Structure 1
Amino acid sequence: MDFDTLRSEIEEASQKCFSALKHKYSEDDFCGYSLYSDSSAMSISPALNSKKHFDLMCADDPEDSTYYRWSPGEWAYESEGAEFFQEISKQLIDESKKIKNQEQFINFKANVYEACVQSLENLSSIGFLNNREEDSVIVFTVSDSEDPEEEVKWIERLNKKELSDEFTNWIHSL
């Protein structure tokens, strides 16, 4: 699999997805952008959070505001727009069937995850993920994995220091 091509495809799908959701929910101010995969790296899904939804979640449960900021599964538009990633996920499943050993599997996952992070970095660098909310977050995560140190690295790459420090402190407190 050509992972540079995969990164380009993920970036394009992300841009189309987030644009469609921003248009569909044009009355919302957005405060979170995410891509996530699974522990086998066979799917990619998006999530987008609105400031209104975040504020409502925090009002109901203020002690968990950091959790709501960094957990795409709790976001307003979690998995909405997944159709933009359907073909990519099919390619990942097909590619995974060619894996013959554990070393290839580990490399495959690392390359898929890196392609996702680079896609988000690229979209952020061109201003596509920026908005009026200064505390907006960008997240890449693996939905059914427990590797907090890897998540910390991704969050540090994708967010300004004060936000990544918040995530790091929170994840280490769990």
Structure 2
Amino acid sequence: MEIDQGLLEIDLANAVLSAFAAFETEHGNEEIYAACLSVTEDGMGIGLNINTEPYFTKRCAEENIESEMTPQEIRYFRWSPAEWCFEDIGDDLFQPVNSMLLQSSLQGFNAIELNTMTDIMARALRRLRDIYADRLQNVTLFVTVTDYDEAEEIENCSAILINPPGLAQAFVSRFG
């Protein structure tokens, strides 16, 4: 089964919106500073991840107990979704999209090119930003690929596409 990219884009955008709405219902008072869509290198397993300022502060304080953190470690904890408080939010809502990608792959089709997938993911986050403009005004949104050598480039490019210039520039220069 070849992937219908238009359907994939609609389904993914709807999953992102539904997952974020569910997050807001449960954690609406959280001080979010970043959210991302992550995917594996093979284009499977899309998930929404969010971190908050209080969790980041707590996490850094815990790490500082063991040894003083370097600025590089602080940036890593701030921007690495693997270290965030909320991972794979609304995982069940992404199941139809992830199943579509898996079925295509199992039937011998290249589910979708990674750069096409990350573009679709960026558009889904852009839609989220448009709909939740006030709530996400100071929140950096980006796309990442787990365990991928070129993840930082994808993160930076997506951040530029999704975020207002000030947020995008701060994100792109996060590692110096």
TM > 0.5 fold call: yes
In structure 2, give the amino acid aligned to 1:86.
Q
TM-score between the two structures when normalised by the length of structure 1:
0.81
Q: Deviations over 1:50-106 (max 9, x none)?
A: 221123234444724433332222111112321111121111011123445xxx56x
> Aligned ranges for residues 133-152 of structure 1 at < 5 Å?
134=138, 136-147=139-150, 148-152=152-156
Match of 1:97 among 88, 93, 106: 106
RMSD (Å) for aligned C-alpha atoms: 2.4
Compared CA separation, residues 151 and 25, structure 1 to 2 (3 A) = closer
Per the alignment, in what secondary structure is the counterpart of residue 170 of structure 1? coil
Cα distance in 1, alignment partners of residues 6 and 82 from structure 2: 28
Runs of 4+ in 1 over 6 A off after TM superposition: none
In structure 1, give the amino acid aligned to 2:56.
F
For these two proteins, the number of residue pairs brought into alignment is: 166
1:118 correspondence with 2:118: no
> Aligned ranges for residues 5-154 of structure 1 at < 5 Å?
5-59=7-61, 60=64, 61=69, 63=71, 64-99=73-108, 108-126=113-131, 128=132, 130-131=134-135, 134=138, 136-147=139-150, 148-154=152-158
In structure 1, give the amino acid aligned to 2:118.
Y
TM-score between the two structures when normalised by the length of structure 2:
0.81
In structure 1, give the amino acid aligned to 2:146.
S
Compared CA separation, residues 3 and 146, structure 1 to 2 (3 A) = same
In structure 2, give the amino acid aligned to 1:157.
L
Cα distance in 1, alignment partners of residues 41 and 129 from structure 2: 25
Match of 1:164 among 153, 163, 168: 168
5+ residue gaps in structure 2?
none
Percent identity of the aligned residues? 22
5+ residue gaps in structure 1?
none
